[in-house]
Amino acid sequence: MSEIYFAPTKKAQRVTLQDLQQRLAAAGLPCTIEEDSPETHWIVFDPHESTIYASTADGHVTLATFNLGPEDEPTVLVKVEGVMDGIGFSADEDADYA
């Protein structure tokens, strides 16, 4: 599966990486955060192979790129989409982006 880009809509909440991590865990996707650079981080799902590459500014998530692991069930994507929708981020090209 190709990458899916989630960007903030006009209804987006300002969330930190830790906020996003807690929401993903509450959706049944426990994960860890690994720093790539001060403004980019990997969110790694265990035991899944899926990842989110998150960009941040001022400590808040500004863009999230999701990649479904080749051995992961589509339910992982469904859960991620639900969490991202819940914070006002969308991958829909017709969304009302900020």
| pLDDT band for position 1 (cuts 50, 70, 90) | low
Tell me what the pLDDT averaged over the chain comes to.
96
If you average pLDDT over residues 10-38, what whole number do you get? 97
Checking if the pLDDT of 2 tops 80, the result is no
Report the pLDDT value the prediction gives residue 77, as an integer from 0 to 100.
96
Q: Kindly state the percentage of the chain with pLDDT values over 70.
A: 99
Of 21, 63, 9, nearest to 45 (Cα)?
A: 21
CATH no. for 4-89: 3.30.310
| pLDDT one-digit tens code per residue, 41-69 | 999 998 999 999 999 999 999 999 999 99
If you average pLDDT over residues 30-51, what whole number do you get? 96
- Cβ atoms < 10 Å from Cβ of 88: 19
Cα–Cα–Cα angle for 82, 26, 20, rounded to 5 degrees? 70
Q: How far apart are CA 98 and CA 45, in angstroms?
A: 28
- What is the reported pTM? 0.95
Report the pLDDT value the prediction gives residue 64, as an integer from 0 to 100.
98
